[in-house]
Amino acid sequence: MPHSISMETWRAWRELLRPGDWVVVLAGLAACAAAGFWFWRGGAPDGVTVRASGKVFAKADLSRPHRIEVPGPLGVTVIEIEPGRARVASDPGPRQYCVRQGWLARAGAVAICAPNEVSLTLSGRGVDYDSLNY
Is the CB of residue 62 less than 8 Å from the CB of residue 84? yes
| Per-residue pLDDT reduced to its tens digit, 77-105 | 999 999 999 999 999 999 999 999 999 99
Q: What local confidence, expressed as pLDDT, does residue 121 receive? A: 93
Considering only CA atoms, which of 13, 41, 65 is closest in space to residue 128? 41
CA–CA dist 70, 8 (Å, integer): 69
The 3-state DSSP class for residue 6 equals coil
Residue 46 confidence (pLDDT): 86
Question: Could you list the pLDDT tens digit for every one of the 134 residues in the chain?
Answer: 456 778 888 788 888 888 888 899 999 999 999 888 777 666 788 899 999 999 999 999 998 999 999 999 999 999 999 999 999 999 999 999 999 999 999 888 899 999 999 999 998 876 555 565 55
Within 8 A by CB and 6+ apart from 124, the residues are 43, 44, 45, 46, 47, 107, 108
How much is the pLDDT for 1?
46
State residue 14's pLDDT score. 80
